[in-house]
Amino acid sequence: MSANEPVSIKLLDREYTVGVGPGERDSLMAAARLLETRMRELRGGNRMAAVDRVAVLAALNMAHEMQQARDGEAGRDAELAAALQDLRRRLDNAGV
């Protein structure tokens, strides 16, 4: 089993070291860049905003977006299942 690799990331000028598995470094770095962008957007010009508050708000916003995407995917899956069921019914009725 491979050990985690330590990777340093910077968020709002603070450095953090995170362990990642083999082949996950690029994905973590992309996630860190996205989080950094969101945190900077939320903080705006208020340099006095507490970093932990900004981080929690950014994480909550991103989690909400992820949940909305999951809900949308579940809705599309339900529509697809209904369409497939309708096609099966039509094929059965056509004697195919």
Q: What is the pLDDT of residues 42-96, one digit of tens each?
A: 998 887 888 889 999 999 999 999 999 998 888 888 888 899 998 899 898 887 6
- Describe the chain by its helix, strand, coil percentages, rounded to 5: 65, 15, 20
Give the SS3 label for residue 84.
Answer: helix
- pLDDT band per the 50, 70, 90 thresholds, residue 10: very high
Which domain covers residue 70, as residue numbers? 5-94
pTM: 0.68
What's the pLDDT score for residue 78? Answer: 87
What's the structural domain count of the chain?
Answer: 1
Separation CA 1–CA 18 (nearest Å) = 18
